[in-house]
Structure 1
Amino acid sequence: MTGAGEGATVDLATRVEVEDLYYREAELLDERRWEEWLELFAPELEYTAPIRVTRRAPANDIIDDIGHFDETKSSLGLRVKRLRTDVAWAENPPSHTRRLITNVRVRRETGTGQLAARTNMMLFRSRGDHGAHDLIVGERRDTLRREGEAWLITRRVIILDQSSLGTKNLGVFL
């Protein structure tokens, strides 16, 4: 993905369309409307969350070779189907979630007709009645393609702000 300062800026209407896409996505996930959420992605989707480590500068702190997950639209679809069964133990009972999406930055990728977007995300997740919760924070780096009247996400890389996740599982989508 192009960096935050690279590529051409987009007009206000396009930026609002992209922001609306992300707010709709958060709503669909928080309401467990996963089948509708999958429709936001292109068939060739790449959906990854590489591992982040703590290293001395100037070394890269992202390890692309391994990750928390490396998904496709098809594998996400299988996860959604599993969540609708009684064998998705990590999410039974389901988590209560709230996703906050902020700092939406959108650029037009040079020569591709696609958009490069970065968003900051915060996921609050609670389970059970004991008051314990998880807080997962990071940046999502997306590539979007216009498909008719809608934007589809073709690639998502999620860079988490934690080297070690405090959550017991990633049974929810980021």
Structure 2
Amino acid sequence: MTAVTEPIHREIEAFLYREAELLDARQYHDWLALLSEDVQYELPQRVTRERSQGEGILDGTGHFLENQWSLRKRIERLATEYAWAEDPPSRTRHFVTNIRVSPGEQQDEFLVRSNVLVYRTRGDDPTYDILSAERYDVLRRVEGSLRLARRRVLLDHSIVLTRNLAIFL
């Protein structure tokens, strides 16, 4: 397996930074354009376990298990009067760091691990949420552009204290 070149690494960093910018600006339709048609977006539940009991991730259950259709429906709902969890909308800031890139299983696919810290506040409430996680992404080149094909977000929290998870990580 060959290493990823520096220009590709920089392109992937720019993709992740652009994605964070779109999410923070609530430009969700533009964000959807960065996703592949067969995207899988997963946020499994974390539990605290002894080391001998495994990594503490409950696969098959969790906060999100989404595809292109369900993500599109969530975004469409955010534009309606029925999106109470996001009215007023959250203000978020995504900080993406420690980006590690390796070749994927298929040609023009890349395995990308990154750390993300999301700061979130709503309305005039002086409280805020900070969500810390590691993301495992598969980026795929489609017609010359990178697309997010798979995302698995592993929160560092086993108990999520935010009022809701109506935001994208």
Select which of 9, 12, 16 maps to 2:10.
Answer: 16
Tell me if the contact between 1:114 and 1:144 (Cα under 8 Å) persists in the aligned partners. Answer: yes
User: What does residue 25 of structure 1 align with?
Assistant: 19
- Provide the C-alpha distance between the structure 1 equivalents of 2:97 and 2:55, rounded to a whole number of angstroms: 25
Aligned letter for 2:56? D
Cα RMSD of the aligned pairs, angstroms, is 1.1
- Provide the C-alpha distance between the structure 2 equivalents of 1:89 and 1:111, rounded to a whole number of angstroms: 41
User: What does residue 52 of structure 1 align with?
Assistant: 46
- Provide the C-alpha distance between the structure 2 equivalents of 1:32 and 1:153, rounded to a whole number of angstroms: 18
Structure 2 residue runs of 5 or longer lacking an equivalent are none
Q: Determine helix, strand or coil for the equivalent of 1:60.
A: coil
Structure 1 stretch 20-29 or stretch 101-110: which is displaced more?
101-110
Where in structure 1 do 4 or more consecutive aligned residues deviate above 6 Å?
none
User: What does residue 135 of structure 1 align with?
Assistant: 130
Aligned length: 168
User: What does residue 75 of structure 1 align with?
Assistant: 70
- Provide the C-alpha distance between the structure 1 equivalents of 2:106 and 2:150, rounded to a whole number of angstroms: 17
Q: Determine helix, strand or coil for the equivalent of 1:9.
A: coil
Listed as ranges, the matches of 1:59-70 within 5 Å are: 59-70=54-65
Aligned letter for 1:83? L
User: Percent identity at matched positions?
Assistant: 41
Q: Determine helix, strand or coil for the equivalent of 2:51.
A: coil
Q: Please state if 1:162 is matched with 2:157.
A: yes
TM-score (norm 1): 0.93
Structure 1 residue runs of 5 or longer lacking an equivalent are 1-6
- Provide the C-alpha distance between the structure 2 equivalents of 1:91 and 1:123, rounded to a whole number of angstroms: 16
User: What does residue 84 of structure 2 align with?
Assistant: 89
Q: CA deviation at 1:97?
A: 0.7
Q: Determine helix, strand or coil for the equivalent of 1:143.
A: strand
Tell me if the contact between 1:120 and 1:139 (Cα under 8 Å) persists in the aligned partners. Answer: yes
Structure 1 stretch 104-113 or stretch 135-144: which is displaced more?
104-113
- Provide the C-alpha distance between the structure 2 equivalents of 1:81 and 1:111, rounded to a whole number of angstroms: 32
Tell me if the contact between 1:8 and 1:110 (Cα under 8 Å) persists in the aligned partners. Answer: no
TM-score (norm 2): 0.95
- Provide the C-alpha distance between the structure 1 equivalents of 2:49 and 2:63, rounded to a whole number of angstroms: 18
- Provide the C-alpha distance between the structure 2 equivalents of 1:113 and 1:144, rounded to a whole number of angstroms: 8
- Provide the C-alpha distance between the structure 2 equivalents of 1:93 and 1:113, rounded to a whole number of angstroms: 40
Q: CA deviation at 1:60?
A: 2.2
Tell me if the contact between 1:140 and 1:156 (Cα under 8 Å) persists in the aligned partners. Answer: yes
